Chains A and B, each alone.
Chain A
Amino acid sequence: MEKIICSLCEKPASVNLQYAAKHLCSGCFVKYFEKRFLRTIREFSMIKPHEKIAVGLSGGKDSVVMLHLLAKLRRRLPFEIFAITIDEGIKNYRNTTIHIAKRECKKLGIALKVIIFKEDIGFNLDEIMKKTNSSACSWCGVFRRYLLNKYARIENANKIAIGHNLDDVAQTVLMNIMRNEPIRIARFLEPITNDEYFIPRVHPLLRTPEKEIAIYAMLKDIQIKYMECPYAHFSFRQHVKKQLNDSEEKYPSTKIRILNSFLEMKKHLRKWMKDEKFKLFHCKKCGESSSAQICMRCEMIMKLKNMA
């Protein structure tokens, strides 16, 4: 095969970054990747010294790589981390990723809390999907967000770190535009308020393309199992993801441009929108913070109970 050399040193290249018009060898890629992670944490002041960070750990490549990067960062910045894994109860899928979550936490010496869906919500995801034919992701997303926030707060975390990558963020922005949800765009990725029930979320991988996370894992020998959630097929997100990957191939930088344009627009959106739109209540049923009188989680549980 033809040899291509690294744009920064003389070694054979392993990676082609089309959006940067660069070829990098393994060593230069790892440095570039870790530097971007650090820069992103600083750009948004995601972690302050001595904070306690709850890592949302699904056991997939994004959150596992983030856990490794955060563990490494502790050598430079004094802060505390622990991980929370949510077990939704998805047969032939979640057991594998939970096993990985446990193994990686053990390897890195990080405490892990596994929260079982059924114990809090009353149903596991497989049971929910037998009751309804609407998208699994909408149920799962609401319950997972709720559980992460609740258990991060119980453990006195200052922040929750979420492994959303550049692809996830660009997809969400596009989906909200396509669904005409400007308020969701304004709220996306930023703490709404300093309500004591709400733990702010940070997204240290938001500038990192999804594929590069897999490259980093391979080069650093982090063992990942690449598998797809069995419920993912039916979602609108899949459609947007495919479109976005097509665009990125033909017009490199599309994803990062969507992110940057979103970050710029958001500043103005927040100013433009009236504060009431961001007002938080405490749910009348469970007491958690919510954008309505009754939170989505309690609303959805009532719906599920009525479906019998």
Chain B
Amino acid sequence: MIITIGTKKIRSNFNGKISELIKKLAFSREEVLVRVNGKLVPEDAKINSKDNIEIIKVVFGG
């Protein structure tokens, strides 16, 4: 799995809910959008190591 955050890319073998990944990366789910394999998805969906993740910070401040 490759996780893209802005211009940064990290490799991971995370398995679980997107909301848990968001927390693990120290974001709030109120401030980011998550695309899995290019599509916007609900944060309570489960992902696995085959998925490619893109985290887009859209809410600033706080």
Contact = CB atoms under 8 A, between A and B. Distances in A.
Contact of B61 (A13, A211, A228): A228
Interface in B4-57: 28-31, 33, 36-37, 39-48, 51, 56-57
B interface residue count range (under 10 / 10 to 19 / 20 to 34 / 35 or more): 20 to 34
B58 A1 contact: no
A248 B47 contact: no
B9 to A, nearest CB: 18
A2 B33 contact: no
Contacts of B42: 4, 13-16, 23
B40 A218 contact: yes
Given A232-B61, A241-B62, A246 B47 contact: no
Interface majority SS (helix, strand, loop, mixed), chain A: helix
A2 B47 contact: yes
Given A214-B58, A249-B30, A14 B40 contact: yes
Interface residues of A, number: 36
Contacts of B48: 1
Given A4-B45, A226-B57, A218 B51 contact: no
B60 A232 contact: yes
Contacts of B28: 242, 245-246, 249
Interface in A228-259: 228, 232, 235, 237-242, 244-246, 248-249
B47 A1 contact: yes
B29 to A, nearest CB: 6
Given A211-B31, A238-B62, A249-B29, A1 B40 contact: no
A226 B43 contact: no
A240 to B, nearest CB: 8
Contacts of B33: 211, 214-215, 218
Contact of B31 (A1, A14, A16, A245): A245
Contact of B56 (A16, A26, A226): A226
A3 B44 CA distance: 10
A12 B38 CA distance: 14
A115 to B, nearest CB: 24
- Name the residue among B33, B36, B46 with the largest chain A CB count within 10 angstroms: B33
Contact of A241 (B29, B37, B61): B61
Contacts of B44: 4, 16
A227 B61 CA distance: 10
A237 B40 CA distance: 29
Nearest to A22: B42
Nearest to B32: A211
Nearest to B41: A14
Interface in A167-184: 167
19 contacts: A1-B37, A1-B47, A2-B45, A13-B42, A16-B42, A16-B44, A23-B42, A167-B59, A209-B30, A210-B30, A211-B31, A211-B59, A214-B56, A232-B60, A238-B61, A244-B62, A246-B28, A249-B29, A249-B30
Given A13-B41, A245-B28, 5 more contacts: A15-B40, A23-B42, A211-B59, A215-B40, A240-B62
Interface of A: 1-4, 12-16, 23, 26, 61, 167, 209-211, 214-215, 218-219, 226-228, 232, 235, 237-242, 244-246, 248-249
**Which 6 pairs from chain A and chain B are nearest by CB?**
A241-B62, A16-B42, A214-B58, A242-B62, A228-B60, A245-B30
